[in-house]
Amino acid sequence: MPAFPKKWLWVLLAAAFLVPLLNPLLPDVVSDYRLFLVSTMIIAAIAVLGLNLLTGFNGQISLGHGAFYAVGAYTAAVLMDHLNMPYWLTLPCAAIVCFIVGYLFGLPALKLEGHYLALATFALALAVPQILKYKWLEGLTGGVQGIVLSKPEVPFGLPLTEDQWLYYYCLVVMVLLYWAAANILNSRSGRAMMAIRDQYMAADTMGIDTALYKTVTFGISAAYTGIAGALSASAIAFVAPDSFNFFLSIKFLIGLVVGGIGSLAGSVVGGIFYVLVDNSAQALSTFAKNDLGLQFDLSAYTVFGILLIVLMYLMPMGIVGGVYYLVRSLYSMRKPQAKEQAALKQRVSS
Amino acid sequence: MEQFLQQIASGLANGAIYACVALALVMIYVSTDHINFAQGEMAMFSTYISWQLMSWGLSFWVAFIVAVAFSFVLGVIIERVILRPLHNAPVLSIVVVFIGLLAICNSVAGAIWSYLIKEYPSPFPKSSFGIAGVIGPHQLGVVIVTLIVLSFLFVFFRYTPLGLAMRAAAQNPQMARLVGVRVDWMLALGWGLAAAVGAVAGIMVAHIVYLDPNMMGGILLYAFASALVGGIGNPGGAVLGGFIVGVLENMVAFAGNQIEKATGVYIIGNGEKLTVALIIVIFVLTVRPAGLFGRVVVKRV
């Protein structure tokens, strides 16, 4: 899939930065609540981005990224709660802690592939809430009650509301992380990562240090997801062990699958998608009850589950990839000579 | 000492459950190389069905048989409809489909029967079962039922033509096809049997852990640990692994308890059960991936 056209990227970014400023004009459309929702979408997008770096670009399956999200969130919460650290400083700390944790988990993961890695990370995801409740950590983590924090305050006396500031904060972090990920993938290291995914043995033979790349990718991926966790800790201003259950990892997986495995732009779409479905589950359920005549509640996870299965059949590339190929095939049907020209061009250039 | 015996006995009862689920996992793994992450949720769903039947007035054992038969059919259908077309799909797709199944089973059960925790009856009479002070009536009953199911499966696979055909289909699909075994249907049957065995485990454990849509999460994790300890390609090993892990689990909690009593330092207890399972899983996978009884598979590249 080719890169998203640069021109449109700038337009989107400008729109993302300007839209909150429309608040005085359209107070209902650009409400604080909606901005907060978009902030959670951005956080989700970062988490899915992290998972995609590992699963999509390095071929290591992880069902346990909820664990790294939890580590990030708790690192941020503990630092803010015990050391009164400013919220923006918790992000690099969470990134470092998660990188180390991810790197360490990547070491045993080196020996596992495919199903077995999925199994190990599945076990990790299931055990996380219990580990967070461990008695010896209670002084730090607050046990079952979790930690209550305060929302980030607007700095420099800017004329913004708390939610608007949070939105800008998350947006800037995401843009930076996205830019960094795009650059990593576009470098020698990124090509090595993808080579390991596509042809492990060949990559090894070509002199790529596969063990190093795999563990470091695990670390980077965990750091991304951990940053998302840290952001969510300051956005929701609360962390508790039971919010980091296995279903959190399922959400990341649905974000990955919907957006497209191995697509950066898709990660963002996937993150937005799962928050959207999660938040409209109530509306969905009433719709199913009243309009479709179903007798029971339709929960978000039923939708997620069905989508996971259906997408694997119909659009293994995710919605972004699927739509792209649909558009392209329609386009090339209309202009059959375009394909030939492209083929000719390729032949000439090579 | 009596406490120690009690712990071993309840470990064996838990182990029986783990053995069933682990066996179900191994049956699917041996024939298709897939790890069924939805096994626990499928069993949970069947348990709800039996609960529903009982609340409609059927007796326990009738509900038991109907629910197990239902899971058999459901297993066959899932294999034929959902997994058949994905036979040559990459690992990630298959894992994703299993996670999708897990999410569907869990949320649909929650939607139909709500997430409230329900009591589940025990079919074993209190008066005539159990040995006072060592093993309770339900625990003994669980062990007996599991042993019956396991011996039934053993006889089925060892001494019947259908069982032989199923083993052949799992071991060498191409050769089996050449001698006239319908491999596709054998795989579907294997799935059905696995789902049925899982359902037995779910129904047996529901009295102990109570009925709710998330009841099988921990049990599935322990079943994975059991299957790995026994060697994931080895049915007998999985059963033995189940009992080993069940006893080990209780021993760890017991030892933690004793240490706390003796020294006052809390190290490990019932609250860390899943963590123990996680450690077992990762330890076995990295140190001895073939398990205690599995053969080391040598791959030629």
The first and second tokens of residue B291, run together, are 């398990």
User: How far apart are the CA of A306 and the nearest CA of chain B, in angstroms?
Assistant: 6
Taking only the tens place, the pLDDT of each residue in A191-239 is 998 998 888 888 888 888 888 999 999 999 999 999 999 999 988 888 8
Q: How confident is the model at residue A293 (pLDDT cuts 50, 70, 90)?
A: low
A331-345 mean pLDDT? 64
pLDDT at A345 over 70: no
Number of A:B CB contacts under 8 A?
132
In a domain? residue B230: no
Which residue is listed with tokens 């296995």? A246
For range A297-311, the mean pLDDT: 80
Give yes or no for a contact between B64 and B89, defined as CB atoms under 8 angstroms apart. no
Distance from CA of A87 to the nearest CA of B (A): 31
Confidence tier at A349 by pLDDT (50, 70, 90): low
Please answer yes or no on whether B275 and A63 come within 8 Å at the CB atom: no
Which residues in chain B touch residue A136, judged by CB atoms under 8 angstroms apart?
266
Residue B296 pLDDT level (bands cut at 50, 70, 90): low
Nearest neighbour of B96 by CB, restricted to A112, A201, A257: A257
pLDDT tens-digit map of B121-158? 887 877 666 566 677 788 888 888 888 988 888 899 88
B299 pLDDT above the threshold of 70 = no
pLDDT for residue A222: 94
CB contact under 8 A, A299 and B301: no
The reply to whether residue B100 touches residue A246, judged by beta carbons under 8 angstroms, is: no
| Predicted pLDDT at B297 | 64
Dihedral of alpha carbons B182, B148, B223, B126, sign: positive
* Confidence band for A1, pLDDT divided at 50, 70 and 90: very low
Q: In this complex, which of B100, B108, B274 lies closest to A309 when CB atoms are compared?
A: B100
Probe site for chain B from A245, A298, A311, A312 (most B CB atoms < 10 A): A312
What percent of chain B is predicted at pLDDT more than 70?
95
Query: Is B264 within a domain?
Result: no
Is there a domain that residue B174 lies in? yes
Question: Is A311 domain-assigned?
Answer: no
Over residues A96-123, mean pLDDT = 88
pLDDT at A295 over 70: no
Contacts of A261 (CB under 8 A, 6+ apart): A52, A55, A56, A316, A317, A318, B92
Note whether B289 contacts A127, CB cutoff 8 Å: no
Q: Is residue A224 part of a domain?
A: yes
Which of B221, B278, B288 is most worth mutating to test chain A (most A CB atoms within 10 A of its CB)?
B278
- How many folded domains does chain A comprise? 1
Structural domains of chain B, count: 1
In a domain, A20, yes or no: no
Is the predicted pLDDT of residue B229 greater than 50, yes or no?
yes
pLDDT at A332 over 80: no
CATH classification of the domain holding A66: 1.10.3470
Is the residue at A15 inside a domain?
A: no
> What residue in A sits closest to B35 (Cα-Cα)?
A115
Which pLDDT tens digit goes with each residue over B89-111? Answer: 788 888 889 999 998 998 888 88
A302·B107 Cβ contact <8 A: yes
Render pLDDT for A244-256 as a digit per residue (tens, 0 to 9): 888 889 889 888 8
Would you state the pLDDT for residue B237? 87
Please give the model's pTM, rounded to 2 decimal places. Answer: 0.86
Mean pLDDT of chain B: 85
Residue span of the structural domain in which B69 resides: 2-212
Nearest to A305 among B103, B273, B301 (CB): B103
Complex confidence, ipTM: 0.85
DSSP 8-state class, residue B115: S
CB < 8 Å to A307, chain B: 100
How do residues A23-59 score in pLDDT, each as one tens digit?
A: 677 777 777 788 888 899 999 999 999 999 999 888 8
In Å, how far are A254, A291, B160, B175 from B181, measured between CA atoms?
Answer: 38, 48, 14, 9
Q: How far is A203 from chain B (nearest CA, A)?
A: 15
B269: chain A residues, CB-CB within 8 Å: 135
B35, B99, B106 member nearest A115 (Cβ) = B35
Q: Do B107 and A301 touch (CB under 8 A)?
A: yes
The predicted-structure confidence for B158-213, as pLDDT tens digits, reads as follows 899 898 898 888 888 888 889 888 888 888 998 999 999 999 999 988 888 888 88
Find which of B96, B106, B288 to mutate to test the A interface (most A CBs within 10 Å of its CB): B96
Other Cβ atoms less than 10 A from the Cβ of B269: the count is 17
* Nearest of B96, B63, B1 to residue B203 by alpha carbon: B63
Instruction: Write down the pLDDT at residue A46.
Output: 93
Residue B166 lies in a domain: yes
Q: Which of A9-18, A74-83, A265-274 has the lowest mean pLDDT?
A: A9-18
Q: How far A2 CA lies from chain B's nearest CA (Å)?
A: 23
The whole domain housing A141 covers 34-279
pLDDT tens-place string over residues A157-192: 777 778 888 888 899 999 999 999 999 998 998 899
Which residues, in sequence order, are bridge partners of residue B211?
B118
What pLDDT was estimated at residue B49? 92
Find the CB nearest B82 among A135, A296, A309: A309
**Mean pLDDT value of segment A105-130:** 86
